[in-house]
Amino acid sequence: MTDKLTITPLGPHIGAVIAGVNLAEPLSQGQFEQLHRALLKYQVLFFRNQPITPRAQRALANRFGDLHIHPVYPHTEEAEEIIVLDTHDDNPPDNDNWHTDVTFIETPPALAILAAKQLPPTGGDTLWASGIAALAALSPPLQTLLAGLEAEHDFTKSFPAHRHDDSEEARQRWQAAVARHPPLRHPVIRTHPVSGRQALFVNEGFTTRLPGLPPQRERGPARLSVRAHHPPRVSGALALAGERHRHLGQQGDPALCQCRLPASPPGDAQGHHSRGQALLAPGLNIPHGERP
């Protein structure tokens, strides 16, 4: 039996479908190395018809490093590292914008593994966009300007107090998270610690301002003052044509994505119930311009 994976690219900038591996079983070293290389190259990987248990999901993520425990999201009974994203009429999504996961911490996650458990009859697909391609699409003068800037990321932008006041336990959990995660800064352009590729690292979910800009402009970080160059709905030019991939997922189709370079919003569930599990593995915080 060969360890060679089948890798089918989905576009010029981002996304590939992986076959020839069973995620329910431990990966061989050869399979893991191929998967890792593919992740670095294509940024988001998709696996068809591969139901995965929480324990198997955690074991796969552990191959990449230590795991992150989210400060406020609920988790599965089997593994506290696995977030449960359960959206319906009484619990609308709180991340329905272009975002990169958990950029409110010093070492944002290196990757995420998503697994759909319940999908709506229509809608519910997810989009990913390449921060690498978005950066490359900017003019050289704008790239030079952004290279010297930092952006402030704030936990409370995506997790405001009113979303966590339904019980005393929820309020206390939120207050503890706010105390542990004050606003912090990341470079607007980050360098991947392994591939050396650079990408825009701002997002509509957590970025609040660009302190290096004049006061009248620093509060527009989600647009990066480039609305004339990119669609206004998208933060930091992260959804130019040819730079994004729409995943029409099915129940039992896991997705493995980098968190350092692409960004994503959830799909439109069109009022239906959807439920999924996500698992995050933190990475190194590499400032702009530095390489390992």
3-state secondary structure 156-215: HHHCCHHHHCCCHHHHHHHHHHHHHCCCEEEECEEECCCCCCEEECCCCCCEEECCCCCC
**Contact (Cβ atoms closer than 8 angstroms) between residue 119 and residue 273:** no
Closest C-alpha to 72, from 160, 204, 186, 182: 160
The model's pTM: 0.79
Question: What average pLDDT does the chain have?
Answer: 77
Q: What is the signed CA dihedral for 240, 96, 110, 188, rounded to 10 degrees? A: 60
Between residues 127 and 163, the one the model is more confident about: 163
pLDDT in tens, 56-67: 888 998 898 888
Fill in the DSSP letter of residue 88.
Answer: B
Q: What percent of the chain has pLDDT over 90?
A: 33
pLDDT tops 60 at residue 229: no
Chain centroid, CA 231 distance in Å? 20
Please list, in sequence order, all residues whose beta carbon lies within 8 angstroms of the beta carbon of residue 247, skipping any fewer than 6 positions away.
Answer: 15, 44, 46, 125, 126, 127, 128, 255, 267
